Amino acid sequence: MNAFDRNVETDVAIDATGATSLSGLTAPLAKPGPQKRDLIAGLEKGLAVISCFDQDRPRLTMTEVASLCGLTRAAARRYLITLEYLGYVTSERKMYALTPKVLRLGQSYMHSARLPRIVQPELHKLAFGLKEASSAGVLEGADVICIAANSAGRVVSSTLQPGSRVPAYCTANGRVLLSALSQNEVDTWIAKQTLAPLTTSTITSPERLRQEIARARSQGYAAVDQEFEPGLRTISVPLKSYRGEVLAAINVSVHAARVSMDQLVNDCLPALLQAQASMRTVL
């Protein structure tokens, strides 16, 4: 290992619990992590630097990266230099941005993970059978990450594509996934969230959100009416393994101008439950 590598690897220590303190890297309700001595702080922080770029922050200064990742400016500089050297970051006039090479990280999951490969054919049948868009997602921190999608020719939202992230609190997939947690875990998760009013219909009351998550748990599905995007209605069910573990959620999304909430439930829920049952035997 050369001096440059040592500087990057030992730049920042992981906290005393041995768990990452940066939101977005691990789910807030994750099981206790490994021992601190078994973790590489440099890798943790390098991934945090990549993760701090998003749709709202496509270009960042070194100082902004340092602030977002909890790094000193000197440390942020070394991580950015490393990522630029490796081809994951580009810089111009003291502004940094990700390069297309970052897509390799997501492609590695999409091409190697079993779950997206099982879900995608079922989403294809579901979407074209209903002639509506469908997607599958998993809970990651505060968000749901889309792992598979099929639009069936209907573009109802730009977020219905693999790799996109949406807030869990105001989406059907999110509420279904949260309903699989214990009540204590749900309370802990809600306490950490900022429940922003993304539309005039968004539920921002923690108590009302608890009620909606409990409703999804009792009825086995969640239906959301224009809480994430105006005009977007969505219904979702959990995807369970043969052991009953919730691994993901699948949904159907429609335009509010075409489909009422009653129609959404009556027309789409049976097909979702059929897809759920079909995949349970192979998950």
The sign one gets for the Cα dihedral 200, 205, 206, 211 is negative
Q: Are 283 and 242 in contact (CB under 8 A)?
A: yes
For the chain, domains (ranges, CATH) are 3-102 (1.10.10.10), 113-280 (3.30.450.40)
Amino acid at 151: S
Kind of pairing between the strands at 232-240 and 60-61: unpaired
CA 237 centroid distance within chain: 16
Q: Are 170 and 202 in contact (CB under 8 A)?
A: yes
Give the 3-state secondary structure of residue 199.
coil
pLDDT digits (tens, 9 = 90+) for 259-268: 999 999 999 9
CA dist 22 and 1 (Å) reads 27
Name the CA dihedral angle for 35, 37, 42, 46, rounded to a multiple of 10 degrees.
Answer: -10
- pLDDT band at residue 41, thresholds of 50, 70 and 90? confident
pLDDT digits (tens, 9 = 90+) for 186-233: 999 999 999 999 999 999 999 999 999 999 999 999 999 999 999 999
State pTM to two decimals: 0.74
Q: For the chain, how long is the longest CA-to-CA vector?
A: 64
Give the 3-state secondary structure of residue 43.
helix
**10 DSSP assignment:** T
> For residues 184 and 155, which has the higher predicted lDDT (pLDDT)?
184
CA dist 218 and 57 (Å) reads 38
